[in-house]
Chain A
Amino acid sequence: MSFSPAITFLDKEYSSPILGASGTFGNGDIYKDLLNYSKIGGFVTKAVTAQPRAGNPGQRIFETSGGVLNSIGLENDGLANFIEQKLPEFEKYDCHIWVNVSGNSPEEYINIIETIGEHDFIAGFEINVSCPNVAHGGMRFGASADQVRSLTSRIRVRTNKPITIKLNPNVIDIVEIAKAAKDGKAHAITVSNTFLGMEIDVHKKQPVLGNVTGGYSGKPIFPLALRCVWQIRKEIDIPIIGCGGITSGLDGIKMLMAGASLLQVGTSTLKNPRALEDISNEMSDWAEKNGYSSFSEIIGVAQKND
């Protein structure tokens, strides 16, 4: 039997398990000449906030120790512009689009989701409770199990679209937070986001980033993200979107083996606009060579052998 890269996630068929991660893919317009969208699973939009946000001042991005530090600070044109300018384009893209939402209060998250509405071309909402680069919202919600449970359950009843909670990895016990998302009846969880880090310029004797700290991503965080997926999958049963440091097809296979059902790739796209397609192809080649007929057969297999 020949291999098919298609995978079913929350009752929808994805042509590949690879999605573009939020914040690295714009709102889809940027890569349309460079990437074949029908060959990828889809992408997650840049975070939408109620009001426009200018983002953080000073230096925002820096490569260090093989990975990337960023402190963009959720720069976006706000909800009204998103609905007017970005949303109408989504119908043209031949892949699944998740909308990433960030707010300062539960009311703000709900307002954004209800205002955007339940369009057919939106696969679901990714609830960002883990941005390390803004003072309020973001990570504040994601660090408390009680807040994640409450936020999730409040959002859950206000939309018929699936929601995935993008977890914050900068916590002592990510499993506890994942349980809270499940208790709040999230359809899925995204595991996870960037790790809080920083860099110092020894000549200037000061932090490199204007925001001092930033989110660390790319290849070096892969083992950390893999561990998060593994620990959560071991304890609880909820669909997991694995995200963090995937730079090769083999990384993607490992993340599936740990228990993720869908994957996101972010930092790799910054260097290689075709990374989503390349990684997807590498995964297919590996799976086919190793006798699998679909990626779903690989999900969680390493857990069974533990």
Chain B
Amino acid sequence: MERLKKKFAKVEIITNCEIPGSELKLLSFFEPTIALTSKPGQFVEIGIPGCALPKPFSIMNTQKFGIVEILYQVVGVGTTILSKMKEGEEITVLGPLGNGFSIDEETENCYLIGGGTGIAPVLFFANYYEDKIKSKLFLGARTKNLLPDTSLLPEGVEISTDDGTLGFSGNVVELMAGKLLAPAPVYSCGPKPMLKSILDFTNTWKTKIEFSLETYMGCGIGGCLGCQIETKSGQKHVCTDGPVFPASEVSDVL
């Protein structure tokens, strides 16, 4: 496969606001090369002032005219600093990085399953392949505030919350188990216990099942070797071999 060039740029923040009805934040910036070349499942490394390492974020959406959108939740020092940054302030961005989800020519239907901030890459998938693949979207979170308002989500989305504050009460796999689902490719991103449940739930399916993994990362481009995982076919690096892996390959690390 031809190696696509990555772009490193200083960009100004266009949007950095709370997503209505939630504690999640939407970050957007203008970087046409990244916007035009990114595929669902790929990520960017964002350099936040005051942080020594860049932070990896899945791409949630791109606009034809060059805007890249990121979804994040404030969880640590880096995202705390980022959340306080204003429009017009500068961050750095490196991307697009990683492999992204793989789709087969004949794929017509699929299930997209997102948990927590892992909803970002599956929302990108739904949007990106809208004309090509009919996707059924399942999104889960601990509680209502950790999901965007349903009015902002694609039509027909099924939602679950662990505490029952929105949609189905329970986890997203329990929600799926209550439906009669015909086997189809599955693309998912979210917490490891969720991915493990999906693997168990689909264990008789002979379709493609792909998971996008989240891990601590250094450079994001294979330089530091900080993000190794043990897969069924040996040691891999999430930044360059992933972040998307066939589910069966990564069952031991879930």
Is residue B20 contacting chain A, with contact meaning CB distance below 8 A?
A: no
Contact string, A55-80, partner B, CB cutoff 8 A, digits 1/0?
Answer: 10101111100111010100100000
Instruction: Find B8's partner among A34, A46, A267, A270 (CB 8 Å cutoff).
Output: A34
Contact string, B167-188, partner A, CB cutoff 8 A, digits 1/0?
Answer: 0000000000000000000000
Quick check: B225 and A270 within 8 Å, CB to CB?
A: no
Interface size on B, residues (CB 8 A): 27
Contact string, B196-226, partner A, CB cutoff 8 A, digits 1/0?
Answer: 0000000000000000000011110111111
Quick check: A61 and B94 within 8 Å, CB to CB?
A: no
Instruction: Find A24's partner among B5, B50, B216, B223 (CB 8 Å cutoff).
Output: B223
Shortest CB-to-CB span from A119 to chain B, Å, is 23
Residues in B whose Cβ lies below 8 Å from that of A33: 5-6
Is residue A273 contacting chain B, with contact meaning CB distance below 8 A?
A: yes
Residue of B nearest to A26 (CB): B223
Is residue B53 contacting chain A, with contact meaning CB distance below 8 A?
A: yes
Quick check: A271 and B222 within 8 Å, CB to CB?
A: no
Is residue B151 contacting chain A, with contact meaning CB distance below 8 A?
A: no
Quick check: B221 and A61 within 8 Å, CB to CB?
A: no
Interface size on A, residues (CB 8 A): 32
Is residue A301 contacting chain B, with contact meaning CB distance below 8 A?
A: no
Quick check: B221 and A271 within 8 Å, CB to CB?
A: no
Instruction: Find B223's partner among A25, A57, A66, A68 (CB 8 Å cutoff).
Output: A25
Given A23-B224, A34-B8, A70-B224, check contact A61 B217 (CB 8 Å): yes
Is residue A31 contacting chain B, with contact meaning CB distance below 8 A?
A: yes
Which of chain A's residues 1-46 have a Cβ closer than 8 Å to chain B?
Answer: 23-26, 30-31, 33-34, 46
Shortest CB-to-CB span from A27 to chain B, Å, is 10
Residues in A whose Cβ lies below 8 Å from that of B5: 33
A46-B225, A219-B52 are known; give 9 further A-B pairs, CB within 8 A.
Answer: A24-B223, A34-B6, A55-B225, A61-B224, A63-B53, A66-B50, A75-B225, A273-B94, A274-B8
